[in-house]
A and B are shown apart, each in its own frame.
Chain A
Amino acid sequence: MSARRVRALWRRVVAEIRRDRPSLALLFVAPILVTGLVTFILREGQTPALNALIVNQAGLPGSAIAGEIASSLRTLGDQATQATDEAAARAAVRDGSATLAIILPADLAASVTRGGAITITVLTSGLDPAGESGQLAVLGKALAAAAGQFSRSQPPVIRHTTVYGVPSSDPIAAFAPAIVGFFVYFFVYILTGVSFLRERTGGTLERLLATPVARGEIVAGYTLGFGLFATLQVALLMTWALGSLRIPALGPLPAFSIGLGIPVAGSPPIAFLVVLLLAVGAVSLGIFLSTFARTELQVLQFIPVVLAPQFLLSGVLFPINSLPAILKPLVAIMPLNYAVDGLRQVFIAGADLSNGALQEDLLVLLGVAAFFAVIASLTIRREIV
């Protein structure tokens, strides 16, 4: 091993990276940005105020407990109101006017008299599993404080049910929509960004632009081309995630099933539509960002800057309602957020195209795809110098 040759090599490496200003900046800025954002979210994250409905099915003794629960929630800064019956409460949770409903069962008084634990049912929507378990933790404190007044011996048992889906029956069910959305976005972006960069650096874009082709035609062609592979990718991913193909036992081989068998309440084709619109937006984003990249390395370096914030701010990892207030406006402009929400509506709530929340998600995704298509075609300048 020659020290001289090693020195020549390391000097060359240092000189190359030093002259690659964008890479250099990202090398130092990206980790600071991402770790800073994560720290900020975790430290400044807030437990949003609950808007609880209390349904008392236990008559007079129940109303005393309901009053205690309400006042103990109010001291925590939450809202609590009485609802007439469980159906009304369920409707309020479904349409989002209440965060959750607390149902005091009819046999409450009997339980108290027996000195046993009382069982309180808590109803949430089920659309945001991570966020809801945080709310339940808050509620647990208030319920314990209130119930302690009546039943000294044992803390209350909280039974959690949801409007949509069944909580914690399958831990992956809560994360599947976010994971499907994120990975499609991620891979379509990389594929398009790198391909278009090759077009720019390989001299073929110059040649393309010397033909009568219009910029919009290039973006449309790319969208269709990569859209095809995005479609195949999504189809395969969905089949894998939702499918459960049982293979019977054969000779010494035991029976097994192919596919993750993630439960989905709604129609897979609608979920497919959501992901496809997201993917179309990712094609244009790839073309747009390749303008600012000189090398394939730089295309990859946009990931921490462009994709990581989306990952952190779209409810993939952290529940949106517990994000710091300052970051909430950013959530509204993250395309991934709408895809994740749309997929949750379909996967968990079983939404179809008549669902207002899903329609909004689809419209925003369509708008984002159109916006970036225009931006992308504007970045393909005839003037290549």
Chain B
Amino acid sequence: MTTVPPPAPGGSPTPAPATIRAQDLVKMFGPIRAVDGISFELAPGRIYGLLGPNGSGKTTLIRLLTGMGRATAGRAEVLGTAMPSRAVLARVGYMTQSDGIYPALTAGENVRFFGELYGVTDATAPEDALAVVDLADRRDAVVATLSGGQRRRLSLACALVHRPPVLFLDEPTVGVDPLLRVQFWSHFRRLADGGVTIVVSSHVMDEADRCDELLFMRSGRVIARGSGRDLRARAGTDDLEQAFLRFSGNVAATR
């Protein structure tokens, strides 16, 4: 077991060995195997896409990796520490599927609040996070007056405020217009280039090609892993959706 490196100071992005590891991870809800024996290792500086239909176990997997849930069996490790671990959470960003922001507070107050919980001491960090999602001029607007897309951006800002080396994004672009979606992804790319490990869950296949690697999920399992091009080639199709269905079919056939 390795030790956790000390949290990165607010300013400079230290090249931390951001590694996510799952080992025979299982999560049962009663008789349902929401996560059914998943093992993988994710390297720093890359964007991973968890792709699968609703109910395939993407959110449950993210919750196990962020320590929100305790695995029924197996091991989830982030930055070398078994989850759940509160210490590691200071270095993990998590954008939930629902906005998870306080409607009665302003945009600035939301970002500052989460910054304080993450232990951010750098006073400029909340401002930077708002600038990144292009909300700096809306900092004093109460969330209830923001549009759906603006709330999504604010939600992302709250996940970035502590400049985490590991970032989990649960369906980040749902309800986000195409233009903003492009901005989101270019920002994710910039973060990854800076060494951040990013895990994005989505059921939108056309976003998949922006990821370095895809993990196809179905019924709580990872049924295939590889780059978009690689997966298409293996499935013998140009269409990622078709590729997913081929891999799903194989699983169904072998069961």
Contacts and interface: CB of A to CB of B under 8 A. Distances in A.
Greatest chain A CB density within 10 A among B60, B89, B103, B117 is at: B117
B84 A212 contact: no
Interface string A205-219: 011111111100000
B94 A202 contact: no
Contacts of B86: 212, 214
A383 interface: yes
B89 A211 contact: yes
Contact of B68 (A202, A214, A384): A384
Interface residues of B, number: 28
A378 B118 CA distance: 21
Given A207-B158, A211-B114, A213-B117, A383 B100 contact: no
B160 interface: no
B222 interface: no
Contacts of B84: 382
Contact of B94 (A210, A382, A383): A210
Interface residues of A, number: 16
A212 B100 contact: no
A206 B101 CA distance: 10
Interface string A102-130: 00000000000000000000000000000
Nearest to B90: A212
A134 B102 CA distance: 54
A208 B89 CA distance: 11
B117 A204 contact: no
Interface SS of B by simple majority: loop
A383 B100 CA distance: 16
Given A210-B89, A212-B87, A212-B90, A203 B119 contact: no
A385 interface: yes
A69 B103 CA distance: 71
A34 B217 CA distance: 52
A1 to B, nearest CB: 36
Contact of A385 (B29, B99, B101, B118): B29
Contact of A383 (B70, B90, B92, B102): B70
A207 B114 contact: yes
A212 B118 contact: yes
Interface string B93-114: 0101111111100000000001
Given A214-B86, A382-B68, A383-B70, A207 B94 contact: yes
B105 to A, nearest CB: 10
Contacts of A204: 100-102
Interface string A199-237: 000111011111111100000000000000000000000
B90 A206 contact: no
Nearest to B115: A211
Contact of A212 (B29, B102, B117): B117
Which of B63, B70, B97, B103 has most A Cβ within 10 Å?
A: B63
A207 B67 CA distance: 11
A204 B90 CA distance: 17
Residue among A202, A203, A207 with most chain B CB within 10 A: A207
Contact of B100 (A206, A214, A382, A385): A206
20 contacts: A202-B100, A202-B103, A203-B96, A203-B97, A204-B101, A206-B100, A207-B94, A207-B101, A209-B68, A210-B67, A210-B89, A210-B92, A211-B89, A211-B117, A212-B87, A212-B117, A212-B119, A382-B67, A382-B84, A384-B63
Those 7 A-B pairs whose CB atoms lie nearest each other, nearest first: A203-B98, A207-B100, A203-B100, A211-B117, A210-B94, A212-B90, A212-B89
